[in-house]
A = this chain, B = another copy of it.
Amino acid sequence: MSFREDGEAAVEWAARYLERVGELPVLAQVQPGEIRSRLPASPPEQGEPFADVLRDVDDILLPGITHWQSPRFFAYFAVSAGEPGILAELLAATLNSVAFLWRTSPASTELELLTLDWVAQLLGLPGGWHGHIEDTASTSTLAALAAAREVTGRNVVVCSEQAHSSVDKAAKLLGLEVRKAPTDSEFRLRPDALDLTDAAAVVATVGTTSTTSVDPVPAIADACADAGAWLHVDAAYAGSAWVCPELRASQEGVERADSLVVNAHKWLFTPMDCSLLWTSRPDDFRRAFSLVPEYLRTSDEADSLSDYGPALGRRFRSLKLWAVLRCYGREGLQQRIREAVRLAALFEGWVREEPGWDVCAPRPFSLVCFRHEGSDEHNEQIVERINRSGEAFLSHTRLGDRYVIRLAIGNERTSETDVQRAWDALRAASAD
């Protein structure tokens, strides 16, 4: 095997994939078990050429891929793996750093701290916060709630009924009780209904998963201060929008957070996985996580980022974030975020103007929640029809016990034509 030749073939495959991804059915058009049935049940005895692997990626795996990089991937939160980030992942895998201590990869640890400072500046966050990278927001929220439990000694976490399921998952792991606060008519936590008795932490959400509603963080911060509770802000999706000053109204109060999560792999054009976690209380994270056995003891006086989260081994995730920040710059990030918001506003306008269609929630960012007149089943059929056709991929939620369609914009390749195609498909499916 020649690494250069195989590498060139891999790059060529990636280049062609990115060129043609818009032509592929967005949702994989396969049945459960279908992909696996086309692969050998046992591993090979002798090694095979990498070219054979690449061929099978195309022939066997690709039909089973749901194309998150498609410009018509509108489900969940649309994401992009920017090209500099893709190539940086190749470099990170080549270096194969495992940065559990500073000395096991000083550049990885220091670049991680630096890039988190860079992003903090881009988003207009307070100076001096300590930032590091976890794999996903689930882990970031788990880490924050562990710190909150450690420092408060309490066992209740409070969030709105619209908070992400990762809060429930983390609470279950940590043995915390979850108390759900009701929301107002725009799906925002109602601070007047907050009960912070025995609360270790409140998770306030800026950009909820269902509708991207923004909890009233200033009022929640007041309540946390009164109750001595930790304030964790989940801005996993929407936090990236703060790179645009005109979208920072949703940041009000966040400067008072004890911890904050923003997923760079959601709307900051960085490949999975890159969840950014800042805290104004790094000592409390270390209290929750630092354990130094003899075989990891060194005389280095430097931060070891494994002291801030559940995992010991840490790969070089900051490299891809750094590459994206360098190659896009503040302007490139702003331009992409503004375009996604512009397209969402455009789509929202089309829905509003079209008889028989309703927008079901305010649209502060790039997600539109809407439905067609008629039953839940009818709307569900619209979504399933489009998804099965491969023309676009949409998801849904329930609001006020009604089935609601979600169209999430965020992929950097999405153009007005793509949004128009989705809208055409929706109207056609609704008429069938």
A102 to B27, CA, bound (A): 11
Decide: A94 near B98, CB < 8 A? Known: A165-B312, A313-B137: no
User: Is the pair A52, B326 in contact by a Cβ cutoff of 8 Å?
Assistant: yes
User: Is the pair B17, A95 in contact by a Cβ cutoff of 8 Å?
Assistant: yes
Chain B residues with Cβ below 8 Å from A265 are 98, 313
Task: Name the CB-closest residue of B to A2.
Answer: B15
Chain B residues with Cβ below 8 Å from A272 are 93, 96-98, 313, 315
Chain B residues with Cβ below 8 Å from A346 are none
A41: Cβ under 8 A from any B Cβ: yes
Chain B residues with Cβ below 8 Å from A42 are 118, 121
Count of chain A residues with Cβ under 8 Å from any Cβ of B?
Answer: 139
A166 to B306, CA, bound (A): 11
Chain B residues with Cβ below 8 Å from A296 are 165
Binary CB contact string for chain A from 257 to 294 against chain B (1 if under 8 A, 0 otherwise) = 00000000100000111000000000000001101111
Decide: A87 near B142, CB < 8 A? Known: A43-B330, A65-B95: no
Partner of A110, one of B36, B57, B295: B36
A-to-B contact residues, CB < 8 Å: 1, 3-4, 6-8, 10-15, 17-18, 27-28, 30, 32-36, 39, 41-50, 52-54, 57, 61-69, 75-76, 79-81, 83-98, 102-108, 110-111, 113-114, 117-119, 121-122, 135-139, 142, 146, 164-166, 168-170, 172-175, 209-210, 265, 271-273, 288-289, 291-296, 300-302, 310-313, 315, 319-320, 322-323, 325-332, 395-398, 406
Can you identify 15 A-B contacts, CB atoms within 8 angstroms? A13-B91, A30-B106, A44-B330, A47-B331, A48-B326, A53-B84, A53-B88, A68-B96, A81-B93, A86-B90, A89-B89, A135-B135, A165-B292, A175-B175, A295-B395
